[in-house]
Structure 1
């Protein structure tokens, strides 16, 4: 395989893997190449992105690789996350949040299986707004991140505790999971505060 094409494929694989990232071994199995070759290409890609001043970086964490944003750009990401125009949550973010609230701890893949679409962007938004956080790692292949809600989640929606959410249906059928999400929408859509409102409450 052409070297530049391999590097491009590896970058794409890291992108679709999201925050979970991938090990060099897992990537090697996908592209059917030697793991040492894959590791060298990943580190070459890592150098390229840093040298060219790109907005993303390849980070090597806990034996795996994942795409991250450039740390020096953090102030801009914070301004975007907390800007008034982005204070409210989108329907996709609300749906993802409702799934996490009822099913926590839960992995990104499990969320996507329920929603039927990618959840990376919604999860990133919810983490940036401090509504969800990493609560551990699943005992499964690749040790994917487990997500749960935060204290800010309770404050954001005016809840004293998770037990104030509508009682979830015990069964795990698709229709009942949809109904569970609908119940949470009904509970939180009327309570949604802007981040400015939340900061004002915290200052009281």
Structure 2
């Protein structure tokens, strides 16, 4: 018995434990990428209509199975580990600068914020940012960028999903 495309998609999303890219789904199904996307969207509609307690979410350039937000509160006692404490305002500022300006050096972050960028360490520990290279500037400082986990945690498909900033030029943010 040959499994249906929807059965394969469901099994893959459940078993992977991570988002599966469109290309991976297409390869698995032996279909062009557009056809695999249509099949995945049909599977997502079937889940929503059947109200089975999980749904397909498009995130980080792929798809994953998630619990609908309306059901998450009912599952709280079963979920572990406990959530990490929220990020501080300073850490969120640093994360925003990195997300919108990447790749960016620590000195550039500090200039834009007008203060320390020490929360980079916290953001790295939470796997929200990573070193993506070195600047050609004197001393070759590290360049920081966001990770796939950043996209997952903030429910973004790609960086293009970030809300637009008024005036995309960061020069007005520089202090001193």
The alignment's TM-score, normalised by the length of structure 2, stands at 0.49
Give the number of the structure whose residues are more often helix, by fraction: 1
